[in-house]
Amino acid sequence: MILVAGSANMDFVVRAAHIPSPGETVLGRDFKTYPGGKGANQAVAAARAGGVPTHMLLALGADAHAEPLEASLREALVKLHLVRVPDQTTGCAFICVSDDAENAITVAPGANLSLQPRHLPPLVGFSHLMLQLETPLATVTAYAQAARRQGVTVVLNPAPAQALPAPLLEAVDILIVNEGELAALAGHQGSIAQCLERIHVPTVVVTLGHHGCCARSHGVFFLQEAFDVTPVDTTGAGDTFCGSLVAALHLGADIPLALRMASAAGALACTRPGAQSSIPQAAEVTAFLAQQPPPNPARITALRYLCGLTGPASPR
């Protein structure tokens, strides 16, 4: 089993031609609400796309936004360890999605900030604990340290990016970051390989958007090119990647196969609107992978160069 401890937010999504610049007002078009939150998205991805028994520890307010969040998680067969916070609103996120499928997100954490170390359920039977940073940092650290003491693999997606205390990083087994989060943690603006040298975590996975992803696990590098899709909305794609990756590792996949499965799930999520609503079923991921061509050596070479693992390719 996998335990996700983290955030659940109601997403308020507006589609517009482009994301507003500071001080700019943009006339939007469609408006919809979707269940979201990094923790909840990752839990749904592990359960739905990964097909793994998944539990989630979360905090919700006693308001109208809590009900659809609970319903979405239960529909995905996620077992809930729910902390009800009657004097706080349920977390909300305000998202603008542009016509080129990029997004800008502002989160009002609400009840998510009420998760405390004492709320962590017994960890017996769990293989992995997944954490993010939309809940209090001290609580995340306490959860990671408790899991480390009990031999549970600790997975951290340090988003939103912020400085991390040494005790937290020391308890992490797998770190999943995007390029910006990696640079922020490393305190370095060099290549991905150079930044990874400054991160002392056994396994670090770096997502690189439409380029693909890379991982350094116990000193060995692995690369996975991105799958070609036509994106509609990238909201939740990174969370889908995270949950699917951990599910694959739970099922015994090695790093290359886990990266491939997670990349496929994340790619499919980009082709649909919303966060949890965009997460594919495990059968869809399997079918999608069966249709993909073999790895493209030229794209892998370009990815190696992007990561700082080799010099530029010679011209042909």
Q: Is residue 25 part of a domain?
A: no
* CA gap 70, 19 in Å, rounded: 30
Q: Is residue 214 part of a domain?
A: yes
What is the reported pLDDT for 315?
33
For residue 102, give the nearest of 232, 276, 243 by alpha carbon: 232
* CA gap 84, 186 in Å, rounded: 36
Q: Is residue 136 part of a domain?
A: yes
- Span 160-212, pLDDT tens digits: 888 899 999 999 999 999 999 999 898 888 889 999 999 999 999 999 998 99
Of the candidates 11, 30, 239, 254, the residue annotated as catalytic is 239
* CATH code of residue 140: 3.40.1190.20
Q: Is residue 26 part of a domain?
A: no
Q: Is residue 269 part of a domain?
A: yes
Measuring CA to CA, how many Å separate 281 from each of 28, 32, 58, 276, 311?
A: 31, 22, 23, 11, 39
Q: Is residue 283 part of a domain?
A: yes
Q: Is residue 139 part of a domain?
A: yes
What is the reported pLDDT for 314?
35
Write out residues in the chain with pLDDT < 70, as ranges.
311-316
What is the reported pLDDT for 28?
86
Give the residues across from 224 on adjacent strands. 213
Helix (H) or strand (E) holding 92: strand 91-98
239 catalytic residue (yes or no): yes
For residue 8, give the nearest of 81, 77, 87 by alpha carbon: 81
Domain count for the chain, please give it: 1
Give the residues across from 130 on adjacent strands. 4, 155
Q: Is residue 22 part of a domain?
A: no
> Which residue range(s) make up the domain with 11?
2-16+31-306
